[in-house]
Amino acid sequence: MGTIFHLDIVSAEESIYSGPAEFMVAPALMGEVGIYPHHTPMLTRIRSGMVRIKAPLKDEESVYVSGGMLEVQPDIVTILADTAIRGEDLDEAKALEAKKRAEEAMKNKTSEIEYARAQAELMEAAAQLTAIQKLRKRGH
């Protein structure tokens, strides 16, 4: 495997991507990381954002991820995400509704736990909306 590596992106619900990749970009906790074949091994947490994948002989693909881990080995890269959604499956109306519900819940909080949960949901919805906007700019 000289110019490609194997990439797996898995969520709690399903395997989102499994196949060869020439490179990928992922939203690591400390910033975006670019991965090419024979990358130095690493393990890091991921934050909400888009994973961009360039597979051989294909257009670039995008997968929205939120939470989880990224493991890099020289010829195998694995993302175990709390949430993973194919870029074309992101639903702007659903994300806007989730954002609105979270904002309402934050206004009407009855406990610190409910407020924290609503805040997390708001951040998730905002990250999805940002990902949708980026996909639009790139013409997906």
pLDDT digits 0-9 by tens, 40-62: 999 999 998 889 999 998 888 88
Is the whole-model pTM more than 0.85? no
The predicted pLDDT at position 54 comes to 95
Q: Print the domain residue range for 120.
A: 91-137
Same domain, 13 and 58: yes
User: What type of residue is 37?
Assistant: P
Same domain, 70 and 25: yes
Same domain, 103 and 76: no
Residue with more model confidence, 127 or 70: 70
Same domain, 64 and 132: no
User: Closest Cα partner for 70 from 53, 56, 57?
Assistant: 53
State the average pLDDT for the chain. Answer: 84
Same domain, 58 and 97: no
Domain count, the chain: 2
